[in-house]
Structure 1
Amino acid sequence: MSRPLSLLLIDDHALLRQGLAELLNAVEGFVVLGTAASAEEGLQMAETLMPDIVLLDLHMPGMGGMQALKRFKASLSDALIIVLTASDAQADLLMALSVGADGYLLKHTEPEALVQQLLTCSKQRLLLDPKMQLLDSGRASLSHLTGKCVDEVELTERECQTLRLIAEGMSNKLIARALGISDGTVKIHVKHLLSKLNLHSRLELAAWAHRCGFLERGVSSERQAG
């Protein structure tokens, strides 16, 4: 008999973590090594547990899901990093895939279907919830993403803050609330970002931020708003 697949579950909802762990531990082909309530905790656990599969929620307090996904891909090169989320938004799907997710599953999936999907996962096949497969059509456009290099642009502090929040999947309304500014001001910042970076959509802005190393830059390197 082959070795069971080991898993690390990361979600900020305790009931979901416990229920999912019980479900998967009851399946002969799985063993849950641990659960974590945040991406930060999960990254620490992953260094010692070295799971075969990480099930990662996208939207949690603390480190954003996209940044966490990149960190897991860098530290667990042999593991499958699969997003398990309530979000069926195309932007979240495309961003997750563009930064290296090996799968994207929805939390409303029936337990039996989730088990079967995980049992068939592999590095050779992208694991997508059936509902999300049609939305995957936009991924090709991101693979040919253009735009200026991170060192070629000068952004104000507020533009940098806006771009970071766009990269975490926030809407204009949520960005406005987080920064204490109006929706209209956020739209102006987005317009300026698109122009300065030679990009054409919010999705491209988010992909650029993740791919070009912008999110790894220190705040000290960003210009202060005038």
Structure 2
Amino acid sequence: MPDITRVLVIDDHPLFRRGVCQLLELESGYAVVGEAASGQEGIARARELDPDLILLDLNMKGMNGLETLRTMRDHEIDARIIILTVSNAPEDLIAAIRAGSDGYILKDNDPADMLSLIGNVMKGQNAISPELTSLLATALRQESVVDSRNAANLTERETAILKCLAVGKSNKLIARELDIMESTVKVHIRNLLKKLKFRSRVEAAVWAVANQIH
């Protein structure tokens, strides 16, 4: 976790956006480097500022949060991206994770809990509002495509890395534990996601826990 986490906040509600910025500014270790009121503006600001963390609203007018998230990942913006939303619908949660989000936090969470979850993401752990975790696991188990996935197709090294993802370890921690380069970890993660047909490491981690691969 960097000494100072540089944050970009993207939300089309000025009052909530300002509240999130003020919450972070009161915490040591965070610096809000930018704000944006739309998806298009957020993408431009992300490319300009190269933040460590992006807090992204899901339901925005025009370009919504999912479209913004997918575009950012397509442009290889590698900041940690957390969805902040009022939606507790499993389909929104799954869509966000598959689009490449690192976390999904409900806006009505207690501020202290929100900060704790944000901190988890910056430590390389998964951050999903606790009340949604079981919903996600259930939804993934109910999909037929999940049943067709088989971790036996993974190499021994990929399986070891999947187990590390399941307990929320960052690439740096995985590299240290397995005594390999961090760049090698990234290659293995990309390969295992492709084999298991996942689009994000968080989705893979939740699936691994649901299938007791940890």
Partner of 1:199: none
Partner of 1:139: 140
CA distance in 2 between partners of 1:143 and 1:113 (Å): 33
The structural deviation recorded for 1:78 is 2.5
Partner of 2:26: 26
CA distance in 2 between partners of 1:42 and 1:132 (Å): 26
The structural deviation recorded for 1:121 is 1.2
Conserved in 2, the CA contact under 8 Å of 1:58 and 1:64? yes
The answer to whether the aligner puts 1:96 opposite 2:96 as a matched pair is yes
- The residue type paired with residue 115 of structure 1 is L
TM-score computed with the length of structure 2 as normaliser? 0.63
The structural deviation recorded for 1:143 is 6.0
The answer to whether the aligner puts 1:81 opposite 2:81 as a matched pair is yes
The structural deviation recorded for 1:13 is 0.5
Partner of 1:106: 106
TM-score computed with the length of structure 1 as normaliser? 0.60
CA distance in 1 between partners of 2:135 and 2:72 (Å): 24
Partner of 1:125: 125
Conserved in 1, the CA contact under 8 Å of 2:8 and 2:35? yes
CA distance in 1 between partners of 2:57 and 2:20 (Å): 13
CA distance in 1 between partners of 2:75 and 2:8 (Å): 14
The structural deviation recorded for 1:2 is 4.9
1:57-103 deviations in whole A, cap 9, x for unaligned? 11111112211111122334431111000001111001111111110
Partner of 2:54: 54
Conserved in 2, the CA contact under 8 Å of 1:103 and 1:128? yes
The total of aligned residue pairs comes to 147
Percent identity over paired residues: 37
Please, which runs of 5 or more residues in structure 2 have no aligned partner? 149-198, 200-214
The structural deviation recorded for 1:120 is 2.0
- The residue type paired with residue 80 of structure 1 is R
CA RMSD of aligned residues (A): 2.3
